[in-house]
Structure 1
């Protein structure tokens, strides 16, 4: 847990009450026509939706990114996103990145990695504590390795009985290290290869509802989009040369320690009925923890190729994949990393 003074708690509580959650889309001023990128993002080749029933042979594509290559084993990592935790390390190598509201209206990441595409530097972080919202998200991936720094004492029994392989420092301390150039607790890092070696039974990447392919007709030209949480914001700005939406956090361009400016070809702004902990958990005194439900249905705005597509998401149960639709048909994503911002309604 991050250290929080009573005055900070009051400020964050006021932010939760007074800061309206909004989503703004800024369309280009040139009507409905605009130039598409001449090429796909660097290193990416458009491919059709993955066939996850085929063996991992030549021609296979990742069900998480739609990029060529056999599906690897899954490692999910909880990564901090408070200002003291930036810049992060390893985030650009994730197949899928979820941005989730935590206490005080701040944000934190749940990053899902494929063992075939781990960060070249062998390091991910800063790793922070698990939250209640994480478990339903991970359920659709199967029983996977879940790396986090710790959790509320009352949440630990829930984690112990959850359908995940708990791989926190309590289970594998040798897989974690501290960077003394940063202040604690924003300085704990994970060695992903060691976790995967020590917990080898994690699920293999499978269909979680993503469809990859050409963009459908009917998109609205959109150069920028901003998703807001009470005390956090994410702005995505289209870069035609890169074929990606470049990512800014709280108004500042995101740039991890192990790569250039952070961007992704597909951004999903998934609106959820934000509520508080179903179990009555408190991350700070006198304030129930936020909870982002990802089972049910709601609106989703998908950004790709400079256009936005307002459709829906649906997921009947924890074990089901999440389906994104536009115009009554499956919404196709551009191959590459997918960002999903769980935006409070």
Structure 2
């Protein structure tokens, strides 16, 4: 199939459009073209390539849903709205406008089961589940030779800052997120990095700690941390065999088996006692990391998500798990228009 994609950050080197949409779809054999999120660029892409599907990641600056409807109606293209929900890397999409999206788009995907249940009353024929996942080839090329310390992933809101301040006496702590560089902490701080670089950091850590999203993200998506799914960092770390430590919530057991494939904590206050204990049990961490790798590569890849979503339109040849995991994605840039 020929698929046109648009959304915020289409020109960025580490655009989520690439690792979540473009590369997995190309892996499945589809032709993918990305255009800037403007009315003129979308119209040009529809006229030039006559795609069967237009994938829109809705965020500020993207043309209004009614305009997308008008453009795709003219071209006879299926309009798909892909909601990513909260994200530690990139821009969150507003789940509060789902009712309007369901009215205007041919198909709308949501990132978690709770949201799917909340809006199912409006009709599931236009609503599908598209949970977070990972594209293994984007991470597998970046592997560290040894592990030490741990990583903390999340933005510097007040509660998260208090947690990290209680951990800065530990060795080899790396914090990745926004707002940390300005704080007087005795830890290594990195801004959000491109996916291959994140993979290298994850591979060099004994485990990755996922902090709850900041209030800004919670407000944007209208969900508390207890209601949210796992962050993309959890999936990316699993691809390189690194276990994650995440806050206990219903979504965790829907993806990984707690205490076997992932480690959970009840509240942020637990981390100060839990993390030193984990650092001392290297064998158990390796066991959990291997189990997480097995689960994520078998069930939680973007190519499998897309294959399931598009199966009503196309018949794909079967791709074995080992074949998918070993696949090395090409690094050519997205086709773009502005």
Q: TM-score, normalised by structure 1?
A: 0.27
Q: Point out the structure with the larger helix share.
A: 2
Highest RCO, 1 vs 2 (Cα 8 Å, sep ≥ 6): 1
Larger radius of gyration: 2
